[in-house]
């Protein structure tokens, strides 16, 4: 499968970071983290999703949270130093990141936006994140991922 060589995968390889790829059948009508987790046979709380947000002071950032959680905008604003922050409209996601919905990842993103990784990631030996394409996830140690994208751990999600 030639699609496995996403820019995200190339980045991890160039950094010498160990990871495992897992592909799954994509349903364009259901890109939810729950569905992805079920298809890759991985716990939902370890299957992280990447959201694009924009703050009033510091601009665009990426928030990476467990698939079964909701982004806590107030907590994210505290982490970023913004007074107000919100997720960007869907139509802006691809121009900002270079990735389509269901394939957004901080790895090899179009620009090096600040990345905030929910602190819950630290309790797992591996997390799953998008490999930069729909139908492709990467399993990686949270600390390796944090270093690859220069993320900051922060308490940014709620159930």
102-155 pLDDT per residue, tens: 999 999 999 999 999 999 999 999 999 999 999 999 999 999 999 999 999 999
Q: With bands split at pLDDT 50, 70 and 90, how would you rate the model's confidence at 4?
A: low
Instruction: Provide the pLDDT for residue 47.
Output: 97
Closest CA to 94 of 129, 57, 132: 132
Q: Which CATH number characterizes residue 82's domain?
A: 3.90.960.10
Domain that holds residue 102: 2-158
The answer for residues whose C-beta is within 8 angstroms of residue 93's C-beta and 6 or more apart is 52, 99, 100, 101, 104
The DSSP output letter for 111 is S
- pTM, two decimals, is 0.95
27-82 pLDDT per residue, tens: 989 999 999 999 999 999 999 999 999 999 999 999 999 999 999 999 999 999 99
Mean per-residue pLDDT, 1-21: 87
Q: With bands split at pLDDT 50, 70 and 90, how would you rate the model's confidence at 5?
A: confident
Q: How many domains does the chain fold into?
A: 1
Strands 152-154 and 115-118: parallel
Instruction: Provide the pLDDT for residue 1.
Output: 41
Q: With bands split at pLDDT 50, 70 and 90, how would you rate the model's confidence at 159?
A: confident
* Burial state string for 5-20 with b = 16 or more CB within 10 A and e = fewer than 16: ebbbbebbeeeebebe
Q: What number of residues does the chain have?
A: 159
């Amino acid at each position: 499968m030639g699609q496995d060589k996403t820019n995200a995968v190339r980045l991890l390889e160039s950094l010498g970071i160990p990871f495992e790829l897992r592909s799954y059948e994509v349903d364009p009508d259901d890109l939810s983290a729950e569905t992805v987790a079920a298809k890759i046979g991985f716990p939902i709380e370890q299957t992280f999703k990447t959201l694009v947000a924009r703050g009033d002071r510091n601009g665009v950032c990426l928030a990476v949270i467990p698939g079964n959680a909701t982004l806590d905008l107030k907590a994210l604003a505290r982490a970023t130093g913004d007074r107000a922050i919100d997720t960007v409209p869907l139509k802006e996601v691809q121009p900002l990141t270079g990735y389509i919905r269901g394939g957004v990842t901080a790895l090899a993103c179009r620009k090096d936006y600040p990345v905030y990784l929910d602190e819950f990631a630290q309790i797992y030996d591996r997390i799953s994140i998008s490999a930069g394409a729909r139908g492709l996830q990467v399993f990686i140690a949270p600390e390796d991922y944090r270093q690859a994208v220069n993320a900051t751990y922060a308490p940014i999600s709620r159930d």
